[in-house]
């Protein structure tokens, strides 16, 4: 008999990027992506009974690496704008400045620096180990429904602890 799945966090195409993390949550099991030393199947799905969870923590927060990359990109673009302003008269005639690419880079920098959020679940097991799942920072709003389903499930079971940063 097949188990009811509450939420799928990771699509099978993305398993390689989420080794050691929870791929989906069912009513009675957690499916975890584990690395396997094989070229034909580099990972395997391990089923962990949900009754082995002592508590579940949810954290909605910022993605620090993406934010740092956005700030770095904005600083780099600020430097480019400064040097263009200072040395404008020294440019060779016919020099092309691709304003569209600079504008696109500014858009990415602003989005990364100010709108990088992610979901994170930590599942604590009775044996003292823990399993995590982190969404990618660009997937925050796309994973909102799946996260809501898991929050509701573990809230009903009395295992949920929520932190909002």
DSSP-assigned states of every residue in 105-152: HHHHHHHHHHS-EEEEEEEEETTS-EEEEE--GGGTTTTHHHHHHHHH
- Can you give the residue range of the structural domain that contains 135? 5-62+116-164
75 and 108 together in one domain: yes
Give pLDDT tens digits for 19-56. 999 999 999 999 999 988 888 788 899 999 989 999 99
Give pLDDT tens digits for 75-88. 999 999 999 899 98
Answer positive or negative: Cα dihedral of 17, 18, 24, 29: positive
11 and 55 together in one domain: yes
This prediction's pTM: 0.76
């Amino acid at each position: 008999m097949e188990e009811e799945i509450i939420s799928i966090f990771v699509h099978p195409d993305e398993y390689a990027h989420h080794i050691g993390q929870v791929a989906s949550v069912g009513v009675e099991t957690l499916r975890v992506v584990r690395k396997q030393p094989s070229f034909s199947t580099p990972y395997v799905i391990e089923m962990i009974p949900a009754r082995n969870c002592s508590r579940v923590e949810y954290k909605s927060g910022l993605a620090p690496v993406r934010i740092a990359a956005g700030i770095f990109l904005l600083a780099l673009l600020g430097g480019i704008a400064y040097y263009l302003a200072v040395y404008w008269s020294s440019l060779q005639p016919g020099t092309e400045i691709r304003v569209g690419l600079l504008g696109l880079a500014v858009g990415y920098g602003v989005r990364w620096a100010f709108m990088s959020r992610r979901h994170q679940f930590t599942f604590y097991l009775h044996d003292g180990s823990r399993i995590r799942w982190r969404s990618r920072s660009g997937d925050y709003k796309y994973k909102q429904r799946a996260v809501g389903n898991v929050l509701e499930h573990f809230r009903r079971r009395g295992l949920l602890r929520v932190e909002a940063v």
